[in-house]
Amino acid sequence: MGMIMNVSEEVSASLEDYLEAIFWIIAAKGVARAKDIAKTLSVKASSVTGALQALAKKNYINYAPYEVVTLTSEGEKLAKNVVRRHQILKDFFTNVLAVDEKVADEGACKMEHNINRPILEKLVSFMEFVEICPRGGQKWMDGFTNYYKTGNKGNCERCIATSLKEVKKKRATMKTKRGTDMTLAGLKSKQKGVVVRIERRGPISKRLADMGVGRGTLVEVKRVAPLGDPIDVKVKGYHLSLRKEEAASIIVSVR
């Protein structure tokens, strides 16, 4: 799994913001320019120059005056960690706490630089648990939203009884479950599934294993390219770009 650096020792929160901005600009345009960074962060050109010089000195970016900015391998690794922390916090605020997306994004920006790895990983596991557990899922989160707005926790006995019925119904279909599983490549945008098995061995299986992805892991398809290749997948807060043939080797149970 990707290393979460101690930001107080490695790089300041301000410089992490620059790395995150550079990452997204490169993702959108291929390269980053000082004027793009200034516009994204709403800062002066002189501030950008100072930040870029500091990042270059730490070997996080390739930078020279009037040239495009690119990330080094170490810079890309750190930028991806910052992006991941932000996304996990934002997802927690929006998907679990039902916070408005804009407010969630602002809150994630303020918190992402100080959260440490153990807390981050527990947040990921908690969000997976909420979605996978029969007592969790969207209905459970809708119940929390209603409780927050009205103070009415609802009928717990009825909720438990309904959850039990749904579990029994799901178990009744387990005999044909293997036949209804599908490949990750078969999921549409915004669909989710739980990994049942990975049939292909090689770089993709090692890549997923390094991030702790295995049987029982929740995955979500974020975007499918017009021709079906590649497929953008979110798993444990990471965004992966998988070739269609790679996604076809991952068998999932659709949520």
pLDDT of residue 8: 37
DSSP string, 112-158: TTT--HHHHHHHHHHHHHHHHSTT-HHHHHHHHHHHHHH-----HHH
Q: 42-91 pLDDT, tens per residue?
A: 999 889 999 999 999 999 999 998 899 999 999 998 998 888 888 888 88
Position 9 scores a pLDDT of: 44
Domains and CATH numbers, the chain: 1-114 (1.10.10.10), 179-254 (2.30.30.90)
What is the structure's pLDDT at 1?
37
Q: Which residue ranges of the chain lie beneath pLDDT 50?
A: 1-9, 174-178
pLDDT at 212: 66
Please give the Cα distance from 108 to 88 (Å, whole number). 8
In 3D space, the residue among 12, 57, 18, 10 whose CA is nearest the CA of residue 41 turns out to be 18
Give the angle subtended at the CA of 236 by the CAs of 204 and 99, to the nearest 5°.
150
Rounded CA separation 220/129 (Å): 14
- Burial of 121-131, coded b for 16+ CB within 10 Å and e otherwise, reads bebbeebbebb
Q: Which two structure tokens, joined as six digits, stand for 191?
A: 């669909």
Distance of alpha carbon 64 from alpha carbon 51, whole angstroms:
12
| CA–CA separation, 204 and 70 (whole Å) | 26
CA angle 225, 226, 230 (to 5 degrees): 25
Cis peptide before 134, with omega less than 30 degrees from 0? Answer: no
Q: What are residue 250's DSSP bridge partners?
A: 198
Number of Cβ atoms within 10 Å of the Cβ of 107: 18
DSSP per-residue codes, 55-119: HHHTTSEE--TTS-BEE-HHHHHHHHHHHHHHHHHHHIIIIIS---HHHHHHHHHHHTTT--HHH
What pLDDT does 28 receive? 85
Strand partners, 235: 219, 238
125: tokens are: 């596991």
Residue 249 CB-half CA count within 13 A: 14
pTM for the full predicted model: 0.65
Look up residue 223 and give its two tokens. Answer: 């975007």
Tokens 């100080």 belong to residue: 114
